[in-house]
Amino acid sequence: MSDRSDLLMLRDKLRAFAEARDWDQFHSPKNLSMALMVEVAELMEHFQWLTEAQTGNLDAGKKAVVAEELADILLYLVRLADKLDVDLKQAALHKLGKNAVKYPAEQVRGSAKKYSEY
Amino acid sequence: MSDRSDLLMLRDKLRAFAEARDWDQFHSPKNLSMALMVEVAELMEHFQWLTEAQTGNLDAGKKAVVAEELADILLYLVRLADKLDVDLKQAALHKLGKNAVKYPAEQVRGSAKKYSEY
Amino acid sequence: MSDRSDLLMLRDKLRAFAEARDWDQFHSPKNLSMALMVEVAELMEHFQWLTEAQTGNLDAGKKAVVAEELADILLYLVRLADKLDVDLKQAALHKLGKNAVKYPAEQVRGSAKKYSEY
Amino acid sequence: MSDRSDLLMLRDKLRAFAEARDWDQFHSPKNLSMALMVEVAELMEHFQWLTEAQTGNLDAGKKAVVAEELADILLYLVRLADKLDVDLKQAALHKLGKNAVKYPAEQVRGSAKKYSEY
């Protein structure tokens, strides 16, 4: 059943949502990538004038607003992956495996230097 | 067990990944929102000169590259939600409920006008 | 005099604006890059569900709104360049020269392939 | 003459550049807004793991790289404004005037709170 996987469950709900509204016609990957970007910017707007420490210590009201922005990002991401026929979970696990090779723990510990600089 | 939820499974793997590398110190929500944004831009770069139709019909090589960008986005999103102590799945379901009220199917069918214009 | 150069004129006005408000303390390049990004996203939001053709044919009301977004982007860009002590005009002319070498007209005519693919 | 205005001079050079390459066909405002966003993200990538203080104190090598990103941003912005038939200088001056009213110096001094919060 769909509740085995959060991501598939959300994918299915978003499919039904778009279908009920005949919005599939607007959901080209190009357009969805723009919508995704706009949502990330709305999140970032909350952080732009805060210090790093402040962003790690939001009050409850701000946190609720930020949670909604995170939701928007996830929803567009899931929808975009669906339209591209990409299995997000498999893609994420595959990438985690690549990252583990690219950034060996003993070599990069405590450093945020980009991979290419090693 | 963690495999009940994709998102919690990824959250746990990312926690371990950051801990093994002592990267937690760089993972302020502010910084992670920037990293998330950069990944979305890397995705978008693949689409910027393509038509909408072309982005819906990528060849296998391009699709593999794009899948990896989607993975990067999901990984940073999950990590960011964790640092903000936000339950992504609950947030997404909550937002879906709000969207259903905001965009009644019978009223918005076939139109991409923004909610505020109704 | 400053009015020989649009960019220097704007730089000076923005310096005075920030100084009068004691905002310099918030204007780290990191923060300004985030603010710049947010403004670009506000622009992009106007285009995300439009076709390419529609974005080239905005009505007067939409055009006025979009012009204001472009202004916000330019203002943050000029401010950011100032804080980084970069001469925007010189940098732009230098980059134009590099682009002319990187994309020889006779070789790339009519193609939007990225430089790296040649 | 064109050298009265940096922005018009760059606009004219970019027109000639696109025309020589037959790139006008790709330069819809929609596409250019995406390209602009990608350039801002490339800039931001340099800052994402740095502290605010570090971004205000780049070494010469980093500064040269960052200057080139700023140039890319300006070039796409000027091109986009041209395709939208917007006079960037006038738009910027107009917006500065509005900002002066929106953020009265005596009222906002030393605070980065957003206008809407006043």
List pLDDT tens digits, range C16-47. Answer: 999 999 999 999 999 999 999 999 999 999 99
Residue contact C100–D26, C-beta within 8 A: no
Query: Shortest CA distance to C75 belongs to which of C9, C4, C5, C23?
Result: C9
The tokens for A26 are 């607007």
pLDDT of residue B1: 43
In a 10 Å sphere around its CB, with 0-12 CB exposed, 13-18 middle and 19+ buried, how is residue B39 labelled?
A: buried
CA B4 to chain centre: 20
Residues C60-101 pLDDT 10s: 999 999 999 999 999 999 999 999 999 999 999 999 999 999
What's the farthest any 2 CA atoms get from each other in chain D? Answer: 51
| Closest residue by Cα to residue B13 from B86, B90, B74 | B74
- What confidence score (pLDDT) does residue B26 get? 94
- A103 pLDDT higher than 70: yes
What's the rounded mean pLDDT across residues A100-112?
A: 88
Closest by Cα among A101, C47, C87, C5 to D71? C87
Give CA–CA dist D42/D106, Å, rounded: 36
Distance from the B18 Cα atom to the nearest Cα atom in chain D, whole angstroms = 14
pLDDT in tens, D28-75: 999 999 999 999 999 999 999 999 999 999 999 999 999 999 999 999
> Which one of D48, D59, D70 makes the best mutation probe of the C interface by having the most chain C beta carbons within 10 Å?
D70
Report helix, strand or coil for D58. coil
Q: pLDDT digit string (tens) for B51-109?
A: 999 999 999 999 999 999 999 999 999 999 999 999 999 999 999 999 999 999 988 88
Alpha-helical (H) ranges within chain A are 6-21, 29-45, 52-55, 60-83, 88-102, 105-108
Q: Please identify among residues 27-86 of chain B the ones whose CB lies closer than 8 Å to any CB of chain A.
A: 28-31, 33-34, 36-37, 40-41, 43-44, 47, 50-53, 55-56, 58, 63, 66-68, 70-75, 77-78, 80-81, 83-86
Answer yes or no: is pLDDT of A72 > 50.
yes
- Cα gap C90→A62, rounded to integer Å: 42
